[in-house]
Amino acid sequence: GSVDAAKKAAAVKAVDEYVKNNFVLGIGSGSTIVYAVERLAERVKLENLSIVCVPTSFQARQLIIQHNLILSDLERNPKLDCAIDGADEVDAKLTLIKGGGGCLTQEKIVASCAKQLIIVCDFMKDSKALGEKYKKGVPIEVIPMAFVPVQRKIEEDLGGKAELRMAKQKAGPVVTDNGNFILDWIFPEKSYDWESTNTKIKMIPGVVETGLFVNMTHKVFYGMADGSVKEKS
């Protein structure tokens, strides 16, 4: 449909604009990134590019292997030229909510190692303020034994509701690629200082990472319904 066409248009434009020969790339997770990896594989073949890819999840690792791209890691490549990833929502300051796919921790680590974080998404992700479009809350990765005290602390200190993410095709909670649980925090207010909110959550013992990407985004490619691509940086 038009959303898939929009995702693809954004992904193709980002790969064509940002990927250069000899790049070390961070490969994000989700559905939009699939189009980016397909385009990347096409360019590698067509232009005989030398590219190395660092994954942000088991899914990204599978994508890299399936497309016969060179798989690396942060031990061999701790400095990346560019990380390309999706997002669940983007606000006016390019603050992101990520983690809808449960891969936020490795995504944030890889993004932090890249000179530039490039986000590819469809027009549905474009918001003035977080929470306008994405209603499932901020994903927070937590150590399993701590999920109840973390849940209580978040609800006491910040309000709203922090719900344990339950799996659909597995009994019990979702377990992340790192062996942890996820709380989805449905926040009460309209406008937040996301930098301080992110820090407050991060400091709670038991919290591994939040899906709030603050001041990390270099550029966002938004695929539009008509197939055009809007860019913001």
d(CA 119, CA 136): 20
The alpha carbon of 84 is separated from its chain's Cα centroid by a whole number of angstroms, namely 9
Binding ligand DER (rule: CB under 6 A), the pick from 14, 27, 29, 60 is: 29
Q: Residue 39, interface with ligand DER (CB under 6 A)?
A: no
The alpha carbon of 199 is separated from its chain's Cα centroid by a whole number of angstroms, namely 18
d(CA 216, CA 77): 19
Of 123 and 147, the one with the shorter C-beta distance to ligand DER is: 123
Min CB(47)–ligand DER separation in Å = 25
Which residue, judged by CB position, is nearest to ligand DER in the bound state?
30
d(CA 200, CA 81): 30
Q: Is 107 a catalytic residue?
A: yes
> What does the buried/exposed string (b/e) look like for 148-181 if buried means 16 or more CB atoms within 10 Å of the residue's CB?
eebbebbeeebeeebebbeeeeeeebbebbeebb
Of 34 and 153, the one with the shorter C-beta distance to ligand DER is: 34
Question: Which runs of E-coded beta strand occur in the chain?
Answer: 24-27, 52-55, 70-71, 80-85, 89-90, 96-97, 114-122, 138-142, 161-164, 181-186, 207-210, 212-213, 219-223, 229-232
Of 36 and 162, the one with the shorter C-beta distance to ligand DER is: 36
d(CA 29, CA 9): 17
Binding ligand DER (rule: CB under 6 A), the pick from 26, 55, 101, 223 is: 101
Of 26 and 30, the one with the shorter C-beta distance to ligand DER is: 30
Q: Residue 197, interface with ligand DER (CB under 6 A)?
A: no
Task: Give the binding-site size for ligand DER (rule: CB under 6 A).
Answer: 16
Q: Which stretch binds ligand DER (CB under 6 A): 43-51, 70-78, 79-87, 149-157?
A: 79-87
Q: From 188, 192, 194, select the one nearest 212 (Cα to Cα).
A: 194
Min CB(89)–ligand DER separation in Å = 8
Q: Which stretch binds ligand DER (CB under 6 A): 27-35, 74-82, 171-179, 215-223?
A: 27-35
Rg (CA), the chain: 17
The alpha carbon of 38 is separated from its chain's Cα centroid by a whole number of angstroms, namely 18
Min CB(28)–ligand DER separation in Å = 5
Site string for ligand DER, 45-74 (x = CB under 6 A): ------------------------------
Catalytic machinery residues: 107
Summarize as ranges the residues that interact with ligand DER (CB under 6 A): 28-32, 85-88, 98-101, 103-104, 107
